[in-house]
Amino acid sequence: MRVAHVRERHAPAGSPFRLAAALPDGRWLDLEAARRRALRDDPRRGHNEPVFRTPVTTLDAHLASGRRVDALRLLVEPFEADPGRLSSGGSARAGDAMDDLTLDRRDVQTGPPILRPTSLRDFYAFERHVSTMWARRHQEVPDAWYRLPIFYFGNVSEVRGPDESVWAPRGSTELDYELEIAALVDTPARDLDAQRAEEIIGGYTIFNDWSARDLQREETAVRLGPAKGKDFAVSIGPCLVTPDELTDARSGKGFDLVATATVNGQELSRGTWADIHFSFGEMLARASADARLMAGDLVGSGTIGSGCLLEIKDDLFGRWLEPGDEVTLSIDRLGALSNPVVARPT
């Protein structure tokens, strides 16, 4: 299942997002309209399944109600099993407002799959990226990196979705992208075992951990941070993909799925999720040690090898990001996430 926050591309400014699920033909199924239609067709559903009793607004609200992402599948299955129910025929009354169940993918824009994450931990899990960074300092990767999944806390107040603008923060001229995967926690947990920790993942999405390299360099020189070099923007999207969609691609501690980054259509980064050194289970076990994870928490993988300008700029691009650039991160089965770079608003 693939879920996303969507709204009509030409909707008035400030129009709310609707939670929707992708259908096999590429359309989006409005989950609140689907809930009302299914409940009208069979009122017993409201007695049997809690997800039919509460209006569907956002994924954030769904998780806050104590329900997991997979519970939304109950709203989708009746229409996947009988696609004829999506038409204005069948039991739907002519002119009924509930007939508007689907949106064409060309007519919608998507927002962040989770609008307000409860927290953000970003790990450092790809050896190629880590070794390249330490080689730049003419040093070996610390032994501790191979033993401990390391993370920092990011800023959840500056979350961007697809097509939303990003700019370098004040005082920075070295804006960079980072090609990553994020997992969304959808049930509370604490002190997890690494072998079972992935069971609390509701889905995966593409994650761009934007970086101001000049600010980051100054902050980390004093062995603290990153702080202002990181907390000005993160981008996630375009949708949340449930783990069952990836099962057959499992490879080692990750998945055999290709990830790329392009700037203005030029491919600069290419790697695979399968190269990850720590599984998301290992990362979540570390994150949950003596700390409670909450539904709505995001966990980032860290940068896939070659997945930032800091690694490849001198050989392939020759500069940092500038206003007018467009960065697109793509990962097999997760989709593509694009964001334009603009001048910092005054």
pLDDT tens for 30-57 read 999 999 999 999 999 999 899 999 999 9
CA 265 to each of CA 272, 335, 339: distance values in angstroms, whole numbers, following the listed order: 19, 16, 12
Task: Write out the two tokens for 138.
Answer: 């003419």
Tally of CB atoms within 10 A around 175: 25
pLDDT tens-digit readout, 103-114: 999 999 999 999
Enumerate the CATH 3.90.850.10 domain ranges in the chain, comma separated.
119-340
Task: Write out the two tokens for 161.
Answer: 């979705």
The DSSP H or E segment spanning 292 is strand 292-293
3-class secondary-structure state, position 169: coil
Q: How confident is the model at residue 76 (pLDDT cuts 50, 70, 90)?
A: very high
pLDDT tops 80 at residue 313: yes
- How far apart CA 30 and CA 5 sit, in angstroms, is 10
- Please confirm whether the linkage preceding 340 is cis (ω < 30° from 0): no
Q: Roughly how many angstroms between the first and final C-alpha of the chain, as a whole number?
A: 41
| Spatial CB neighbours of 234, under 8 Å, sequence gap ≥ 6 | 120, 154, 155, 158, 159, 160, 207, 208, 209, 210
* Angle between the N-to-C axes of helices 73-81 and 31-41, in degrees from 0 to 180, rounded to the nearest 10: 70
Q: Where does residue 134 rank: exposed (0-12), middle (13-18), buried (19+ CB within 10 A)? A: middle
CA 93 to each of CA 40, 85, 237, 324, 344: distance values in angstroms, whole numbers, following the listed order: 11, 12, 36, 49, 51
Q: Which CATH architecture has domain 119-340?
A: Alpha-Beta Complex (3.90)
pTM of the model: 0.95
